[in-house]
Structure 1
Amino acid sequence: MRRLRNLFVYLLLWAAYLSACQVGQVFLYFQWDSLLLETGFLAALVAPLRQPPHHKQAPQGRLVGASPHEGLPFWLVRWLLFRLMFASGVVKLTSRCPAWWGLTALTYHYETQCLPTPASWFAHHLPVWLQKLSVVATFLIEIAVPPLFFAPLRRLRLAAFYSQVLLQVLIIITGNYNFFNLLTLVLTTALLDDGHLTAEPGNSRCKKRPTSWPRALLAMLSLLLEFTVYGLLAYGTVHCFGLEVDWEQHAVHSRTTFTFHQFTQWLKMVTLPTMWLGVASLTWELLNALWRWTQVRGWLRKLCTAVQLFVFGTATVALFVISLVPYSYIEPSSHGHLWTGAHRLFGAVEHLQLANSYGLFRRMTGLGGRPEVVLEGSYDGHHWTEIEFMYKPGNVSRPPPVVVPHQPRLDWQMWFAALGPHSHSPWFTSLVLRLLQGKDPVIRLIQNDVARYPFHRQPPTYVRAQRYKYQFSRPGEQSQWWRRQWVEEFFPPVSLGDPTLDMLLRQFGLQDKSPPRARSSGNALAQALRWIRKQLSPLEASTLLWGLLAAVGAIRVMQALLGPHPAHSSPLAKEKHKPAPKKDSGAAGKQPAPAPDNSSSSQTPRRKK
């Protein structure tokens, strides 16, 4: 599989997902789909054109023979992570959402998010002061910490890395956000360096060497700068959110001490400097790449690396300039003062989604309880049976599921549909039509096990939808996770041929205009794909995904434990480990005995790039 990790394969995967997003429209119109597209294109730049041979480890911790431009795509990943986190924190305040400004957003979030987890129920019942303090920590991690992604000090970057990991892990525990948080965790690895990722014992045991006074002074200044940054973060957090410790109630009280006008003025003051921070950091990365190019030996190799450095350097600068346009959306005046060439360049490639704007959890919805749409079917129009979905809340006695990293797109869209009238979600009318027709592919989106679908033997004659208000049950209510209250009728009862249904279908352009096409049975590929789908359909998507990930992990572990090491099997390695002949001339000290070929402690293992 190592041969498949190259630029062309990643470009193919990116193009395939871009095509799926264009076809999926509203069902794949989420910020994490845009994030996956942007990350996928950057992965094509990170991946090499061809897999190089295994490199030896250089004394400075770099790979011998590594390309000079290799750090540029990783810098773009770091810049993407900065834009994602900083914008997500800023929009929470620019939206003027009272829940975020009052620091009470998490008192609603766990209950009203699209697909809660069982841990959401427990998090929802935490003390209010702790939930408000968690909002303060969210603002700190998403707004104040991201500039540290470009800090010159390694320990500051590591502190930023661990803070981001903590936030993403907590979100994974308390909410089902499919692959988004896992993808963000992958992006955070751009904050690490080779020395932190290397598992070689030699790198963790630094030999004590005499330190010159300039190095000692530099280390002292670095430590002073590090403590200054931590002190400023702590002081700013206490000052901006009025943190006070209540020793009697064993609580920490917090409140927002700045106004919306003050925040917008601060944002106007820092948006352009953050862009210049990106320019300075990218310039430093380009200079480092140029310096590494000067260390390349051999005119032919120097020429090849110069071409690669030019191509990847130009692509890096272009993508950075393109990304400034969606990033500047967070502050209108900065967006207007942006270079016009950047706007033209972004407009030329906007349809490719190479750079996107982000801003997650902009506003809290369902402050009075989460609205939920419940579908019902009937054969006679009098006795109605609820149609239970696999993942979204329905049965009040069923615990919330854990479906990471799968995203049940229909369940997610049902959450958005409940926020307004059904006319705002045209696809809902099509869903009702397919249920009346008994379309098996649509039924499997609702219940993977068709036998659990109440109308699996015969489609319902009538279908309607009711809107309920769901709330988490209180502690002590046995065998119930939810409480619900009927609000109103969401979709009127309809049947096939009903004038209301036909009118809605015509209004949204959803009529079946062409006869169904017969399936071609002669296509071997189509038959194989249908057979695979039939075999896997009984499995839930989340179980299947975790099974595939576990299988890949098990294979990698077995390869690491049992597979022959390339350094042991290659003729070059065998030649390298032959005993050196004894010299005739007298040498200082005794000649060291050669280490046996099967000793793993006598050599530095080679790393795969």
Structure 2
Amino acid sequence: MIPLRYTRNLFLRAFCIVYLSAFLSFYIQIPGLYGDNGVLPAKAVLENSKHKTLSAKVHYQPTLLWLAPYLGLDTNYALDVLALLGAFLAFTGLVSQKFCTIPLFAGLWSLYFSLFQIGQTFVTSSYDEFLLEAGFLAILVAPLLPGRKKGSKGASSDFVSFWLVKWFLFRFLLTVGLTKFISGCPKWWSLTALYYHFQTMPLPSPLSWYSHHLPDWYLRLIQIFANVSEIVLPFFFLVPIRSVRLTSFVFQIVLQICIVLTGNFDFSNMLIVTLLLSLLDDQFFYGRKKALSRWTIVGKIVNVVIFGGILYGVVNLYSLKFGGTHIESNIAFTKIQFDNVLSQGLTYTIHFGLLSLAGTVLYTLSHVLFDNQGSGSKTVGIISTVFYGIVAVLLFFANAVPLASLHPTSNSTVAPSVRTVYNRLHKLHAVNQYGLFPRMTGVDGRPEIILEGSDSIEGPWREYNFLYKPGNVNHSLPFVAPYAPKLDWQMYWAAYSTYEKQPWLLSLTHRLLVGKPEVLALLDKLHSPYTQKPPRYIRGILYRYKYTPWSQKSQSTWWVRERVSEYFPAFSRDSPALIEFLKARNLLPTLSKQTVNPIWKQALDSIRYVTNHLEATLLFWSVLTAGLALICTSGSGKK
């Protein structure tokens, strides 16, 4: 049995980095998004509760924010405490392995779940649910207490808990890949989706412009690589052949690096890379070279055969034809054939997963029973394996529900009792349904909402600029991941809707009209007007953006745009229509009536003052660098 102790430790510390980015992202944006003067005040969510007792309130909205009055805090400062405490715990787990235990990860999950409960529309991108589900599994991976024996191989339950991580990652990638074809989107089916993807993604990176101008045949090959990586390769996460898993790991890492370089997708790619560590073992990091055993040679041969077969299948299923300067490709299977395979394949996939889980549990039990260790350790190992095995079976069947729901045939086979388990776990976001970007949008150009202000209804109108989303056609966009700019991200989705269905957008407009500094801090104040005095009117204009052609790469212009229509009419701060709209949705800013302990207030205001003087991404990388420096200087990073 190859040990997993070092792999587990690396996995948990990497997870702490993900949590660190998530909590810091939330903390930076609390005043502008969730404060009393924010776009969607958090206290409005809590005030909707008519319950009197603490237990009834927690049942209505499970969040630690209900404890704020008992700690001498109001909702605003309680949010700061939760986010800072989460960042502190994540930093602690990063710099010291001995703190990476179940209590720490249970605390991290509880804190982020509490923040998620008041996140409203700004936590609907699926990535927050992705973190919560993965964080729930990290609790199972973490040890109950710090390891004491330096030479310990780790707990026997590591194999079962890591199997759950691999199954979750398998289900996530498979679902993301399949939904692109299930949606019937003609761009995914014609292998032309990447012609538009780099231009229409929510937050492009500086390299997105260059990726958009890659040759068409090359973009088609990249899409094929992504399809295979998401739909085919995840099956090999669960096979018992080490060399096959390692090869799958390499391909997945290449895909994630490409995504990170060409787009800003919050902390999701960092989290996927962390989950991919479950495919490794300690031998990958410090294994010594030794003579190849018979099984190792067989495994390598099987690895070559499998990936050779995948290459052969790709050539046939995508009709690859190799020319002199390019490679032609087209999907060679029909939608009917895909649907027929999917209807039966999902059921076989679930059976395959159950067989893999059973094999993992039996494999672990056999090593516990026949390993040369004391009777006490053997008893603990058996109890631990059985316990984690039962938990794994429960989570497996709950995970099977969203997977089976991808097709009506397999969905109809789900037992009501299994669906009940899923529903209860889904309320905790411990199991979720995914399917990112199933249809390619913005084929004719990406829609963008531009907010314009003026002191006269006749104009002139001047634009507000955001920090991370397209606006000024002469401004390139920065690398921002793993920081998650929730306002910029949500502006992207609002452009595909109407302002009546996006009440937060008019709330943002009202805050700008009254000049709330907390909200202005979320915008690009260096390139935006009215930072000193708010305008009298603000309106929303819908534009269509496209990248400039390759021939203009020497110029400073990155985008060309054309006006489409008025997104919402001009409003003043006292506009009756605007006031009534916000009042009906309890979105008018109000002063907090809760008292705050002066010691809490002074301490939290001091921290906020310091962090307000640092750019968001710089704050994260500074904290991360400090953590890594502590690891190096203290020697705590040694296995």
TM-score (normalised: structure 1): 0.85
Aligned partner of 1:321 among 375, 380, 397: 397
| CA distance, structure 2, for counterparts of residue 131 and residue 207 of structure 1 | 42
* Structure 2 residue matching 1:488: 3-state secondary structure: strand
Indicate yes or no: 2:475 matched with 1:398.
yes
Instruction: For residue 69 of structure 1, report the CA deviation from its aligned partner.
Output: 1.4
Residue in 1 that maps onto 2:105: 10
Distance 1:197 1:357 in 2: 34
Task: State which drifts further: 301-310 or 424-433.
Answer: 301-310
Q: Secondary structure at the match of 1:171?
A: helix
> Could you tell me which amino acid in structure 2 is paired with residue 556 of structure 1?
I
- In structure 2, C-alpha distance between the alignment counterparts of 1:234 and 1:3, rounded to whole Å: 44
Match for residue 343 of structure 1? Answer: 419
Aligned-partner residue type, residue 279 of structure 1: L
Tell me which residue corresponds to 2:517. 440
User: Structure 1: how far apart are the matches of 2:342 and 2:551?
Assistant: 45
Map of 1:572 onto structure 2: none
Residue by residue over 1:437-472, the C-alpha shift from the partner in whole angstroms, topping out at 9 and shown as x without a partner, is 21111111113xx56542222222111111111111
Contact 1:329 1:357 in 2 (8 A): no
Which residue is 1:251 aligned to?
A: 326
Other-structure match for 1:423: 500
Residues 82 and 146, structure 1, Cα contact 8 Å, conserved in 2? yes
Partner of 2:184: 96
Match of 2:261 in 1: 173
Question: 1:26-45 residue pairs with structure 2 within 5 A?
Answer: 26-45=121-140
Q: Which ranges in structure 1 are unaligned for 5 or more consecutive residues? A: 57-62, 566-606
The higher radius of gyration belongs to 1
1: CA distance, partners of 2:526 / 2:209: 30
Give the aligned residue type for 1:388.
N
Counterpart contact for 2:134–2:165, Cα < 8 Å: yes
Residue 456 to residue 518, structure 1, CA distance change in 2 (3 Å):
farther
**C-alpha separation in 1, matches of 2:376 and 2:298:** 43
**In structure 1, what is the equivalent of residue 354 of structure 2?**
279
The superposition leaves residues 553-606 of structure 1 with CA deviations (integer Å, 9 ceiling, x where unpaired) of: 22222233xx8x9xxxxxxxxxxxxxxxxxxxxxxxxxxxxxxxxxxxxxxxxx
* TM-aligned CA distance change 1:479 to 1:495, over 3 Å: same
Q: Which amino acid aligns with 2:477?
A: P
Q: Select which of 451, 463, 469 maps to 1:375.
A: 451
Q: Is 1:21–1:29's contact at 8 Å kept on the other side of the alignment? A: no
Q: How far 1:130 sits from its partner (Å)?
A: 0.7
Match of 1:188 in 2: 276
CA contact (8 A) 2:98 2:147 kept: no
Say whether residues 1:361 and 2:449 are aligned partners.
Answer: no
What is the distance in 1 between the residues matched to 2:401 and 2:372?
36
CA deviation digits over 1:58-97, x for unaligned, max 9?
xxxxx44x32212111110100110111111100000001
| Paired position in structure 1 for 2:489 | 412
The secondary structure found in structure 2 opposite 1:51 is: coil
* Unaligned ranges ≥5, structure 2: 1-95
% identical aligned pairs: 35
| C-alpha spacing 1:125/1:355, structure 2 compared with 1 (3 Å) | same
- The residue that corresponds to 2:462 in the other structure is 385
- The letter for the 2-side match of 1:50 is L
Rounded Cα–Cα distance in structure 2 between residues aligned with 1:17 and 1:310:
30
Other-structure match for 1:206: 290
- Counterpart in the other structure of 1:480: 557
Deviations 1:218-271 (A, max 9, x none): 566544433331232112111111111121xx0101111111111011111211
Alignment coverage as a number of residue pairs: 540
In the superposition, the TM-score normalised over structure 2's length comes to 0.81
Alignment of 1:506-545 (within 5 A): 506-511=583-588, 515-517=590-592, 520=595, 522-545=597-620
2:365 is aligned with 1:290: yes
Q: Secondary structure at the match of 1:346?
A: helix
Partner of 1:471: 546
| Cα distance per residue 1:99-136 (max 9 Å; x no partner) | 10010000100001111111100010111111111111
Aligned residues of 1:244 and 1:252 also touching (Cα < 8 A): yes
For 1:491-522, what per-residue CA distance to the aligned partner results, in whole angstroms no more than 9, with x for missing partners? 1001122122134224544345xx51267564
Cα separation, partners in 2 of 1:280 and 1:505, compared to 1, 3 Å: same
Name which of 167, 171, 175 aligns with 1:87. 175
SS of match in other structure, 1:323 = helix
Residues 220 and 542 (structure 1 numbering): CA distance in 2 closer, same or farther, change over 3 Å? closer
Q: Secondary structure at the match of 2:117?
A: helix
Aligned to 2:74: none
CA distance in 1, matches of 2:328, 2:383: 58
Supply the distance in 2 between the matched residues of 1:6 and 1:416 (Cα, whole angstroms). 38
The CA distance in 1 between the partners of 2:321 and 2:291, in whole Å, is: 45
Contact 1:438 1:459 in 2 (8 A): yes
Q: Deviations over 1:175-228 (max 9, x none)?
A: 001110010001111111221122xxxx332157xx7xxx3xx56654443333
RMSD: 1.9
For the residue of structure 2 that corresponds to 1:524, the secondary structure is helix
Instruction: Give the structure 2 partner of residue 578 of structure 1.
Output: none
Question: Could you say what secondary structure the match of 2:331 adopts?
Answer: coil
1:593-604 alignment runs, 5 A limit = none
Partners of 2:246 and 2:374 in 1: CA distance: 37
Q: 1:109 aligns with which of 185, 189, 197?
A: 197
- Verify: 1:262 aligned to 2:357, yes or no: no
The residue identity in structure 2 corresponding to 1:283 is A
Match for 1:71: what amino acid? F
Question: Which position in structure 1 is the counterpart of 2:55?
Answer: none
Instruction: Considering Cα pairs closer than 8 Å and 6+ residues apart, tell me whether 1 or 2 has the greater RCO.
Output: 2
Inter-CA distance 144–51: structure 2 relative to 1 (3 Å threshold): same
| Other-structure match for 2:582 | 505
CA distance in 2, matches of 1:197, 1:508: 55
Q: Residue type of the partner of 1:446?
A: L
Further displaced range: 86-95 or 12-21 = 12-21
Residues 1:49 and 2:126 are matched in the alignment: no
Which letter does structure 2 place at the counterpart of 1:278?
G
SS at match of 1:445: coil
